[in-house]
C-alpha cells in the first residue's frame, strides 16, 4: 500500500484558506497512492476556540473529505473540530474512496494547552481496514501513551496526525520510532509546519517508519512537502515471525 503524508503550514482559524490549499495539494498526489494523511485540525490549526469553529458532525469538513476521497480514489485521514450532542471533539476522520467514513475522537487531550477544558475525550480505540491493512487511528498527544496504542495483535499500521511543536521535536522523533518497534507495526505520522496563532513553531518531521524502527520516508524540517512510501505486508509478517515478541506480551485491560 502506498502512503502519502502532506506536511503543510495551516492558516490559523481560516477554514476556507485551508480547504483551498489542501485541494491544490491533493490534486498533485502521485497516481497509485492508496492513503493520504493531513495534519491534526487541518482546517483551523490547534485552536482552543471550538465554540466559534466547531462543525456539527457530519458537516462541511466531513463532506469535503468524502468528496476529495471519491474524486481522487484514495483514502484520506485528518482531524477537525466537531460538535456532537453539545460537546466538542478533536475528531479524526478516515474517508474511504467510496464516500464512507469512520471516526476516532482523540483520547488523550493535551492539558498543557487546556485542550481538556474545551474538548471531550474519546473513549473508543478505533481500527479501520483499508487495502487489506488493519490501521489504528491516533492523534498527536496519544503518541505519549503506549498502553493505549499497544498492539494487541489487532493492527498493522498506526497513522498519527499532529500539531506537535518544535520545542518537543526530540520527543516526537523518539516516540514514533519506539511505537513502531514495540508494536512491530508501520507508523505513518503527519505533522504541520509553520507558526500558529499562539506563536508556537512546528518543524514538521513527518515520517513513515517500518516495523523495525527504520525511517523509510521523512520530510525535511520547516518545509512544506509531500512524502511517500510503500509498505509491505510480506515484510511485516517476516519481521513478526522471525522475532515474535508478541507471544511474550503482557495481557492487560484499560479502565475508562
Catalytic residue IDs: 40, 106, 140
Q: Which is nearest to 138 in space by CA: 152, 120, 157?
A: 157
Spacing of C-alpha 162 from chain mean position: 6
- Alpha-carbon distance 27 to 57, whole Å? 26
Q: Are 20 and 143 in contact (CB under 8 A)?
A: no
- Alpha-carbon distance 209 to 123, whole Å? 27
Instruction: Kindly state the cell numbers that stand for 227.
Output: 512524502
Beta-carbon contacts of residue 131 (< 8 Å; ≥ 6 apart): 1, 34, 35
Instruction: Kindly state the cell numbers that stand for 186.
Output: 508501520
Query: CA angle at residue 113 from 105 to 182, to 5 degrees?
Result: 55
Amino acid at each position: 500500500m502506498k502512503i502519502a503524508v502532506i506536511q503543510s503550514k495551516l492558516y490559523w482559524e481560516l477554514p476556507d484558506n485551508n480547504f483551498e490549499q489542501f485541494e491544490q495539494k491533493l490534486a498533485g498526489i502521485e497516481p497509485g497512492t492508496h492513503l493520504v494523511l493531513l495534519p491534526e485540525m487541518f482546517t483551523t490549526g490547534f485552536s482552543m476556540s471550538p465554540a466559534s469553529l466547531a462543525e456539527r458532525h457530519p458537516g462541511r469538513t466531513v463532506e469535503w473529505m468524502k468528496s476529495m476521497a471519491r474524486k481522487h480514489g484514495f483514502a484520506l485521514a485528518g482531524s477537525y473540530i466537531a460538535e456532537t450532542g453539545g460537546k466538542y471533539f478533536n475528531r479524526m476522520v478516515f474517508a474511504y474512496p467510496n464516500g464512507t467514513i469512520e471516526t476516532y475522537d482523540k483520547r488523550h487531550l493535551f492539558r498543557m494547552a487546556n485542550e481538556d477544558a474545551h474538548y471531550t475525550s474519546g473513549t473508543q480505540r478505533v481500527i479501520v481496514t483499508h487495502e487489506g491493512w488493519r490501521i489504528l487511528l491516533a492523534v498527536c498527544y496519544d503518541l505519549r501513551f503506549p498502553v493505549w496504542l499497544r498492539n494487541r495483535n489487532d493492527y498493522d499500521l498506526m497513522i498519527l496526525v499532529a500539531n506537535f511543536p518544535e520545542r518537543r521535536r526530540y520527543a516526537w522523533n523518539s516516540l514514533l520510532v519506539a511505537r513502531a518497534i514495540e508494536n512491530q507495526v508501520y507508523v505513518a505520522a503527519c505533522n504541520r509546519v509553520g507558526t500558529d496563532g499562539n506563536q508556537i513553531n512546528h518543524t514538521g518531521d513527518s515520517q513513515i517508519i517500518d516495523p523495525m524502527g527504520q525511517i523509510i520516508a521523512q520530510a525535511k524540517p520547516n518545509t512544506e512537502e509531500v512524502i511517500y512510501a510503500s509498505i509491505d505486508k510480506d515484510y511485516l509478517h517476516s519481521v513478526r515471525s522471525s522475532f515474535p515478541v508478541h507471544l511474550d506480551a503482557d495481557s492487560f485491560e484499560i479502565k475508562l
